[in-house]
Each structure stands twice: as structure tokens, then as C-alpha cells.
Amino acid sequence: MDIKVSRFEANEIAKDIDFDHINDREYANLCTIFEELFGRLVNDIIVGGLNCQQRSTPSMNVDLSIGLGYCKSTGKVAHTGSLFGPIAVTNGGAQTRIDLVEIRLKETDYDSQQRAFKDPVTGYISYQDINTKTRFEIEAQVIQGTEGAGVAQSHTTGWVKIAEVTVDAGETTSILDADIENCTGGYDTETTTNWTAETAVTFRLGSVENFKAKFRVKHKENGDHENNIIKDQHIDFGTGANQVNAIDIPIVDAGGRITATEVENALQELAGSGRTSETIKSAYDLGDAAIVDSADTVKDSHIDWGSGASQVDLDDVPESSTKKHLTTAAQTIAGNKTFSGNIIDKNGNEVIAMLMETKQNTSGGTLVASGTTDVVVSGFSFTPDAILVAQVNTDNILYKSFGYGTGFVARTDLANAGRVNLEQLIIGANQVTVKIRNDETATRTWRSVIVTAVKTS
């Protein structure tokens, strides 16, 4: 489209079509300018303002703020120079619905005045009352949504969608700002997040002053970025075409040790397994605190010893072929302990691992004169390999026997030989049978029998 104006010669007598052309082209030229500016865009534009809002006294009506809109399909500009409203919203029904507010250009002729008209053939003069001006303003309407659908209807062709309005079920008193979702898309095809339908059909351009104010937040007057503005999330890192990677990052090489000028090739020069170019050989070319892959370079001071997260402790140190872990070494060995494998003492001698338990029978009983009695001591968690100590307590004397091995036979009365003796210890499954002999001529009473046994296998 071209920008056109009417033209007159000096002393020319103008005709009505000349003035009609003037009237038509004033607005048409404005639309032509907008078409040139936004003709390549896809969707309708809110140049500025046109925010749908609750009325100063809330009701079932809404207003539109001062603003300018452009309809792409008609190529027409719609503008309101003052608060526009009221725009009526229908009362709520049985279920919630979502309405939409839309606008278009409205041309209204006004200012009726009497004008004289001359008939070009007869020269007769007549008079008529006619509208002498045309107002270009906006027309607004509300497209009612379907109850319970949860989405708005599609906008009308030739109209510009401005907002969506949620009308609650049974609402009859007021539409509030909280019920209104205005257009927030900031560029062509950007969506208005809270719209439920045709989310990208309109976008908000904003003013040049607004754009410049936002631009200058992170840019200098000449267009350069301000310092510390570009963050890691802004950079397209990767190995694809035009992506940023190590080959794009320069190095300083203050020490003069690297021939490459960027990170990618500098890494290739670092000494290490599999590198074909190893120009760095010194143990300290990586810095005074560096640890290189060489004998005797890692000291105990380099290791973060401890039991905390990621610290090094005995769990991280493997056993050797001759030295094994004693996992309970840091504990006091009390109660029953089980040790597996060979255990070596500080002199290098093998220590035989064993289980040791002490059990007793306290049921008591009678020892007939010159007779024997078998007392079973049970409850061992293992079948003993040997007996360390066995003792019997009678009504007035303690007797003991020491021995080692299965089927141990003993006739040892440490306190009173010739009276009550432990005649035999018989090992069974998880128990030991103690045979007690009474060599006296009188009946005796035994009170308890105690046995300490071991398992070494």
C-alpha cells in the first residue's frame, strides 16, 4: 500500500470527490504506516494500553484503559483516548464460564450541520443537514463462554482479543481485576500464559520508551552489555554448530608453559596417560599444590582422613596378602566375639580365634552316698570343642576341675579330696554333661554346676 494525499492546483475549483479522498486518506495513510511496520507479523497487536479492568465501583461491567490496537486481518487501527466503558458482562450461570473481551475499529459520523448543495446541471441551490465529521473509535463486545467448559470461545474474525474474564457460577454483583486475564505476550507468537484459548492470537508491543527503559537495564547507550550481565544460563554450551565449547575459550598462560591459545588444545598439552603431546613435564607445572602421577608424591598430609562423608578411613584401605583387617580392633573385646581368617599378634604369630561361653545349671539335687549323678549344663550357642573350667557347688564346699578336650575325665577335688569329685565331662550338642561322684558315706546336696566351654573350629 502507498501513502496518498489529495492535490490541488492554484485557483482550482475542488469537487466533492476531492474532499472525500482527503477524508479517506487521512485514516488510510495511518493504517498504511502500521501495515509497513507490522505487515510481516502474524497476530494482532496491542500497541499500548487497552487493559481490561474492574470499574471504579465494581459491577457486572468492565472498562478498557486508554490505548491503541491493530487488527492484522483488516489492517485497521482502533484507538480510545479515554477510559472506555462500561462493557457489560452477563451474570453467572449454574457453572463457571470464561468469557472473552474483544475490540475493533468503529467509524461514527457526527456533528450535524446545514450545508448548501448546488445542482451541477440546473444550478439550483438546496440545503441539507449532514454530519460534517467522522470519529474513529473502538467498539467492544463480550463473547460469552460455555459453562463448565474451562476454556474461552474463539475470537471473532476482524476483532482483536483483549482479555479473558472468569465469571463464577451464580455471580451477579461484580467482576474484579482478579477475574480478568489481560494479554501478556510480549512478541509475535508468544503466548499469554493464563489464557485458555488462542493464547498467542494477540501480543502486546509496548511503547518505544518502555522498550528502551528495559533495554538500558542491561545495556549501555551504545548497545554494549553492562558488566556481569551474561550468566552461564545465557550461553549455549555444546559441541554442535555455533555452540560455545572449550575451543572458544581463550587462555592467559601467564607462566608461558603452554603453546595453545584456547582451552581445548591447551588440555591436550597436559601430561597424562594417552596424550600424544606432553610438553609439560615438571611436577609443579600445574601449580605448587599439584599432585602428579609419580612415585612418592602423595603424602599422608594430602589425604583427608576421617569418618565423615567422602573422608578416607580404614573402609577405603584394602587388605594386603599378609595383613588382614581386624574389624573389631577399635572396640573393647567383651562378651562373645567371632573372628574369621588368620589373626596375627604383634610378634607375627597366628592367634587362634575362638568362642567362649559360660553356662550353669542351678536346679540343684541330691548326691546319694557312694554314688554318681549326671547334671546337664545346656544353652551353649555352639557344640563345645573343649572345656576350660567346670565346677560344682554343694551345700558347703566348692569343687573345681580344669581340662581341655572332648570326653575329659578328671578326678580332681581341689578343696577336699576323697569327698565329692567331678568324675567326667561329656560334650554333647550345645551342652555338657557333668558326672558328679559322692565318695562320702552320707548323702550330700549339690546346688549348682557351672561350665566354661570354648569352640575353636
Residue 402, in any domain of the structure: yes
Same domain flag for 195 and 77: yes
Region of poorest pLDDT, from 208-222, 285-299, 365-379, 409-423? 409-423
For residue 228, the model assigns a pLDDT of 86
pLDDT at residue 258 greater than cutoff 60: yes
246 occurs within a structural domain: yes
Q: Pick the last residue of a domain from 204, 220, 241.
A: 204
One domain for residues 92 and 192: yes
> What is the rounded distance in angstroms from the CA atom of residue 64 to the CA atom of residue 53?
6
3-state DSSP of the chain:
CCCCCCCCCCCCCCCHHHHHHHHHHHHHHHHHHHHHHHCCCCCEEEEEECCEEECCCCCCEEEECCEEEEECCCCEEEEECCCEEEEECCCCCCCCEEEEEEEEEEEEEEEEEEEEEECCCCCCEEEEEEEEEEEEEEEEEEECCCCCCCCCCCCCCCCEEEEEEEECCCCCCCCCHHHEEECCCCCCCCCCCCCCCCCCCEEECCCHHHHHHHHHHHECCCCCECCCCCCHHHCCECCCCCCECHHHCECCCCCCCCCCCEHHHHHHCCCCCCCCCCCCCCCCCCCCCCCCCCCCCCCHHHCCECCCCCCECHHHCCCCCCCCCCCCCCCCCCCCCCCCCCEECCCCCEECCCEEEEEEECCCEEECCCCEEEEEEECCCCCCCEEEEEEEEECCCEEEEECCCCCCECCCCCCCCCCEEEEEEEEECCEEEEEEEECCCCCEEEEEEEEEEEECC
The larger pLDDT score, comparing residue 307 to residue 325, is at 307
Arithmetic mean of pLDDT, 372-383: 92
Provide the domain limits for residue 200.
44-204
Instruction: Please tell me whether residues 57 and 199 are part of one structural domain.
Output: yes
Residues 124 and 245 placed together within one structural domain of the fold:
no
Among 123-127, 132-136, 326-330, the range scoring the smallest mean pLDDT is: 326-330
What pLDDT shows up at residue 2?
65
- Identify whether 289 is part of a domain: yes
Q: Please indicate, yes or no, whether residues 410 and 438 belong to a single structural domain of this protein.
A: yes
pLDDT class of 263 with cuts at 50, 70, 90: confident
Residue 185 has pLDDT above 60, yes or no: yes
Compute the CA torsion angle 52, 56, 60, 63 (nearest 10 deg). Answer: -30
Q: Specify the pLDDT at position 422.
A: 79
Q: Are both 200 and 112 inside the same structural domain?
A: yes
Domain count, the chain: 4
Whether residue 99 has pLDDT greater than 90:
yes
| 276 located within any domain | yes
Q: Is residue 344 in a domain?
A: yes
How confident is the model at residue 170, as a pLDDT? 96
Q: What is residue 330's predicted lDDT score, i.e. its pLDDT?
A: 42
Shared domain for 168 and 89, answered yes or no, is yes
Across 49-58, 70-79, 234-243, 273-282, the highest mean pLDDT is recorded for 49-58
Residue 31 above 80 pLDDT? no
- Are 125 and 65 in the same domain? yes
List the one residue out of 158, 155, 157 whose CA is nearest residue 142: 155
For the chain, give the percent of residues with pLDDT over 90.
32
Give the tens place of pLDDT for each residue, 387-406. 888 888 877 655 555 444 44
Residue with more model confidence, 2 or 356: 356
pTM attached to this predicted model: 0.48
Q: From CA 231, how far away is CA 346, in angstroms rounded?
A: 61
381 and 341 within one domain: no
50 and 176 both lie in a single domain:
yes
pLDDT at residue 269 greater than cutoff 80 = no
At 107 the pLDDT is 85
CB of 423 closer than 8 Å to CB of 411: yes
Do the domain assignments include residue 319? yes
Whether 9 is in a domain gets the answer no
Q: Which three cell numbers stand for residue 370?
A: 557312694
Which CATH number is 427's domain given? 2.60.40
The answer as to whether 34 is a domain residue is: no
Is residue 422 within 8 A of residue 399, CB to CB? The reply is yes
Is the confidence at residue 407, as pLDDT, over 90?
no
- Domain identity same for 171 and 196: yes
| Same structural domain, 339 and 440 | no
